[in-house]
Amino acid sequence: MADSNTIRLRVFSLNCWGIRYLSKHCRERYAMIGELLSREEHDIVLLQEVWSEKDFLCLKRKLSSTHPHSHYFKSGVIGSGMATFSRHRIHDAFLYRYSLNGYPYMAHHGDWFGGKAVGMVILNIGRLAAHVYVTHLHAEYCREKDSYLPHRVVQAWELQQFIRHTSSGADLVILAGDLNLHPQDLGNRLLRTYTGLRDSYTETAKFDGCEDGITLIADNPFINPKELCPFEKGIRIDYILYKGSGRVSIQCESLSTTKGSVPDHPFPYSDHEALSADLQLQTLTQQAGRDETRGEQDCAAGKLAELVDIVTEARTEVKVGLYCAERMRYTAARTGVMGMALLLLELAIAAVPWLALRADQPFPRASFYLLGVLCFAILITTFLLYIFYTMEVKALQGAEDQMRLAVGSLQERLRGFPLAQPLNQEKDIS
C-alpha cells in the first residue's frame, strides 16, 4: 500500500507558566526548559504562556543551533503567550484571535489581557507541507459554576473552524496546546469530531507518563491540590493532536509526559506537565492515498449524526451564554440610568433652593462633590460595561448563527445532498 518513505517527527508541547515575577522560579525553570529542548532536539516545539517576549528571545538564543526557526505570536495587551521553535524552516505564520476571552474586569483571572488566540505556522518536512497549530483556551476556574463555559465553547468552535478552513492544502496537521478542556468536554468533542484530529494519548500504543495521561497533577509542587477537586489525582487538559491526508498517514509511535519532577532539579518545568509525541509519517502512493481518503469519507459519513448532536449541544451552551450576556448588559444599562437619575436629583436638590430663594447652599459641599464624583464614576463604568457586553452579545450571536448554519448543512448532508466538503475530497478520488 505505502512506500517505504517514512519520516520520524517529534513534537513537544508545554504550558510554561511564565509570568515574570509572579510564577515561582520562573527564570530557573526557563533555563531548565532551554536545556531540555536543546538536549532533546524535537522537530517542533510548541509553548504556551511564554508571557514575556524577553523570555522568548532568551530561549531563541539558547536554541539557535538546534531550532534555528521560531515564531512568537503577539496579540492582546500582554501577548498570546504562544511560541514555536522548529528544526524545519517556517514559511508562513497566521494568527486568529478568538472573539471571546473572558472579561477585562476579572483582572485576577487575567485571561482577557492575554489575548488568547490560535497560531498557525506552515513548514515543510521533507516534501510535505505541515500546518502546525498552537493554542491556549480560556482557563476553567470553577468546574461546578463555570461562568466562562460559553466563552470556551465559542473558542473551541472558532478553533475547529480555523483549522478546518486553513488546512485544506496541508499534508499533515498538528495541533498542540493547553486546551483547558477535559477529554470528553463539549469543546474537545466539537474540535475532534469536526476536524478529524486524533488524540496522541488515545492513539498511541506506547505511553510513558502520569496515570490516565493527566497533565495537571496533584503531585506537582506548584499545584494546590484543592484547586483540582474533585479530581484528586489531576486532570488531562494538554494535548498533541494530529491528522494526515491523502498523501501521508500518521501514527503516534509513543507519547510521554513529565511526571511532576525533574531528575537533579528541585522543581519541575512548570505547573503543567510537558508532552512529547513521536510521530511516524508515511508518505502514501496515490492509490493508497485514495483508499485512505475514501475510508475516512465513509467514516465521516457515519459521524455526521454525532456531529449534529455535538453542534446542537454547543449551540445550547452559547444560547445560555447569550442570555447571561444580555442580562448583564441590561443590568449595566439600568445601573447607568440610575446613576444619571441620581446625578439629576442631586443637581435639582442643589439648584432649587438656590434658584427659589437665592439663599446659601443648604447641601453640604463635601457630600455634594463626593456624590457627584460617584455618579460620574457609575456613568463611565456602566457605559464601558455596556459597550463590552454588547460586543460579547454580538460575538455569541455570531457563533450561534454559524452553528445554526452548520447544523442545517450537516443535516442536509445526512439526507444525502451533494455538498462542498465531500466534493473537495471527491476531486482527489475522481
Binding footprint of a copy of itself on the chain (CB under 8 A): 71-77, 79, 89-97, 99, 115, 120, 122-124, 127-129, 161-162, 165-166, 168-169, 247, 365-366, 369-370, 372-373, 376, 380, 387, 390-391, 394-395, 397-398, 401-402, 405-406, 409, 412, 418-421, 423-424, 427
Q: Which is nearer to a copy of itself, 269 or 388 (CB)?
A: 388
CA–CA–CA angle 152, 155, 157 (5° rounding): 110
Sheet holding 238-243, edge to edge: 90-97, 117-125, 128-136, 172-178, 238-243, 198-199
Q: How far is the CB of 241 from a copy of itself (least distance, A)?
A: 19
Q: How far is the CB of 167 from a copy of itself (least distance, A)?
A: 8
Q: How far is the CB of 273 from a copy of itself (least distance, A)?
A: 29
Q: Which is nearer to a copy of itself, 39 or 365 (CB)?
A: 365
Q: How far is the CB of 278 from a copy of itself (least distance, A)?
A: 23
d(CA 156, CA 398): 14
Q: Which is nearer to a copy of itself, 145 or 165 (CB)?
A: 165
239: DSSP letter: E
Torsions phi, psi of 232, nearest 5? -55, -45
CB distance 290 to 253 below 8 Å? no
Beta strands in 200-247 (DSSP E): 207-208, 216-217, 234-235, 238-243
Could you tell me where the DSSP H helices lie in 79-238? 111-114, 149-166, 186-195, 200-203, 225-228
- Reply yes or no on whether 272 is catalytic: yes
Q: How far is the CB of 130 from a copy of itself (least distance, A)?
A: 8
Q: Which of 67, 131, 138, 272 is catalytic?
A: 272
Q: Which is nearer to a copy of itself, 147 or 285 (CB)?
A: 285
Q: How far is the CB of 246 from a copy of itself (least distance, A)?
A: 9
Beta strands in 290-354 (DSSP E): none
Taking Cα atoms as reference points, which of 402, 16, 4, 89 lies closest to residue 238?
16
Q: Which is nearer to a copy of itself, 235 or 407 (CB)?
A: 407
Q: Which is nearer to a copy of itself, 352 or 373 (CB)?
A: 373
CA–CA–CA angle 110, 49, 112 (5° rounding): 25
Q: How many CA atoms lie within 13 A of 225 on its CB side?
A: 7
Active site residues: 272
